[in-house]
């Protein structure tokens, strides 16, 4: 779908994350937040997003949209395609904001980031309440793709439109079938949170020990399989039925205190805060956010490689981003940000990753001439015979690079390419690679001439690249 303009009402951690998610996916964004520090706070969130979200993808995101800060709700929602409210969790404040939105823009889809209120609670008193729905995200909004979508009997067309918008910016709407306080995920998290509070209150475990239990154990499983699939595997060959039969009786034992919560006395609050501060080792919130984002990028990229869980959402979004400009001379075959997990102990990109970039560049050429995945499935392919890479400048994580490719030779079964990897910001040459490929039959594993359409396409590009661009 076309990119539009989004209004973000409330610029805290969540509102800033929404602004970053829309902005980096090519949407223009208007923000209203009366906090005099809003511009700085949102700028820092967007800065985090610029250093992490593009790392998830093997191609570039759309050109960044325009960010504008405005001085009223009415100015924010004028002439926009989508509104996302992220003000504090106070029902009176939210209803006040909705009334202002309705007065200025009664027909625009209006999503609320609320983690607990139901749509029917939010829309009371609104004439256009049917277009209001819950779109509850997870922090950091610019990296985590899940958003709980709760219509609560609202306008079905509005919800479908909202789903398309959210999917276009790389999110996965989880439609909640019926209204319920705290939706799905936060109800689950609250149960875990209650039990954690009791463990600290009763001096059974510290905040650090509880977090270790999660991040070194079941948290790793949940990231890829969730709860039920994890337990299905735990049931062995008997699957979920065997697991429930074996461990179901334990549910009757008084292991947990889920229906109670310890009184949050000043002593308990101080104990939790002191332990949490000590656990963080003196790192600032911004330092912890940066560490969190680098780790999330690495985990999400691993999941994307397997097409699993959140990684599948990213892969699907990437497939809709479009390719690079292969119609120009020379071709731009790759444009992407260097992920943090591509660097080595020297702090710059590892040699093997240069090989991946240049391999991706060659794949882009092959796909352009009709020798992509479908061609391979039909029994033909190009195999790389030799490469020669020269490294000229260091390449660091977070830099956007592009590869400019020229077809030096395209005759029969022979294909020779020259790639130049440049820093996109200033055109500095980072590395070059000359690559020689042979066309082969996958049946005989021997070289052979390409199919005629592929051969003709290569010759045409080689002829065009042979004029006006010297290597």
Per-residue pLDDT of the chain (471 residues), as tens digits, is: 568 999 999 999 999 999 999 999 999 999 999 999 999 999 999 999 999 999 999 999 999 999 999 999 999 999 999 999 999 999 999 999 999 999 999 999 999 999 999 999 999 999 999 999 999 999 999 999 999 999 988 899 999 999 999 999 999 999 999 999 999 999 999 999 999 999 999 999 999 999 999 999 999 999 999 989 998 888 898 888 888 888 888 777 777 877 788 898 999 999 999 999 998 888 888 899 999 999 999 999 999 999 999 999 999 999 999 777 788 888 999 999 999 999 988 889 999 999 999 999 999 999 999 999 999 999 999 999 999 999 999 999 999 999 999 999 999 999 999 999 999 999 999 999 999 999 999 999 999 999 999 999 999 999 999 854 443
Unique residue bearing structure tokens 């691993």 = 302
How many CB atoms are closer than 10 A to CB 322?
10
C-alpha distances in Å from residue 185, one per residue of 77, 147, 191, 226: 29, 10, 10, 11
402 contacts: CB under 8 Å, gap ≥ 6: 324, 332, 334, 335, 336, 421, 422, 424
CA distance 78 to 100: 11
Q: Six-digit token pair at 324?
A: 């690079």
Beta-bridge partner residues of 436: 386, 416
Q: Given this model, what pLDDT does residue 467 score?
A: 54
Q: Given this model, what pLDDT does residue 470 score?
A: 43
Q: Given this model, what pLDDT does residue 380 score?
A: 97
What is the model's pTM? 0.90
How many CB atoms are closer than 10 A to CB 14?
24
C-alpha distances in Å from residue 35, one per residue of 42, 66, 100: 11, 21, 18
C-alpha distances in Å from residue 4, one per residue of 25, 27, 55, 165, 405: 10, 5, 24, 9, 33
C-alpha distances in Å from residue 191, one per residue of 184, 200, 207, 438: 11, 15, 16, 59
> Strand 380-391 vs strand 172-176: parallel, antiparallel, or unpaired?
unpaired
Q: Given this model, what pLDDT does residue 469 score?
A: 40
CA distance 171 to 444: 44
């Amino acid at each position: 779908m076309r990119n539009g303009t989004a209004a973000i009402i409330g610029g805290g951690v969540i509102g800033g994350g929404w602004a970053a998610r829309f902005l980096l996916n090519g949407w223009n964004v208007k923000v209203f937040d009366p906090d005099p520090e809003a511009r700085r706070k949102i700028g820092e969130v967007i800065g985090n997003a610029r250093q992490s979200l593009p790392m998830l993808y093997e191609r570039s995101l759309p050109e960044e949209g325009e960010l504008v800060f405005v001085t009223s709700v009415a100015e924010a929602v004028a002439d926009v395609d989508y509104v996302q409210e992220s003000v504090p969790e106070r029902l009176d404040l939210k209803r006040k904001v909705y009334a202002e939105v309705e007065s200025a823009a009664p027909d625009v889809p209006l999503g609320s980031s609320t983690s607990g209120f139901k749509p029917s609670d939010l829309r009371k008193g609104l004439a256009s309440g049917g277009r209001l729905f819950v779109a509850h995200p997870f922090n950091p909004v610019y990296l985590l793709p899940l958003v709980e979508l709760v219509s609560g009997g609202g306008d079905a067309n509005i919800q479908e439109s909202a789903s398309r918008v959210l999917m276009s910016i790389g999110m996965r709407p989880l439609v909640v079938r019926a209204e319920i306080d705290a939706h799905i995920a936060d109800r689950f998290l609250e149960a875990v949170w209650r039990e954690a509070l009791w463990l600290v209150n009763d001096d059974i475990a510290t905040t650090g020990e509880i977090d270790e239990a999660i991040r070194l154990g079941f948290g790793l499983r949940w990231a890829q399989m969730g709860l039920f699939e994890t337990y299905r595997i735990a049931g062995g060959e008997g699957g979920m039925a065997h697991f429930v039969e074996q461990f179901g009786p334990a549910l009757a034992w008084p292991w947990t205190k889920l229906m109670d919560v310890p009184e949050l006395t000043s002593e308990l609050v101080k104990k939790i805060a002191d332990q949490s501060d000590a656990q963080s080792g003196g790192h600032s919130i911004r330092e912890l956010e940066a560490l969190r984002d680098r780790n999330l990028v690495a985990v999400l990229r691993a999941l994307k490689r397997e097409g699993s869980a959140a990684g599948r959402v990213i892969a699907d979004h990437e497939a809709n981003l479009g390719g690079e400009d292969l119609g120009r001379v020379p071709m731009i075959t790759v444009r992407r940000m260097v992920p943090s997990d591509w660097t080595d102990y020297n702090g710059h990109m590892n040699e093997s990753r240069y090989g991946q970039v240049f391999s991706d560049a060659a794949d882009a050429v092959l796909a352009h001439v009709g020798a992509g995945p479908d061609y391979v499935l039909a029994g033909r392919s190009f195999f790389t015979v030799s490469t020669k890479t020269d490294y000229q400048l260091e390449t660091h994580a977070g830099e956007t690079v592009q590869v400019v490719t020229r077809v030096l030779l395209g005759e029969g079964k022979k294909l020779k390419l020259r790639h130049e990897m440049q820093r996109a910001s200033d055109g500095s040459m980072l590395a070059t690679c000359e690559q020689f490929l042979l066309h082969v039959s996958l049946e005989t594993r021997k070289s052979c001439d390409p199919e005629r359409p592929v051969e003709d396409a290569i010759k045409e590009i080689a002829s065009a690249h042979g004029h006006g661009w010297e290597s």
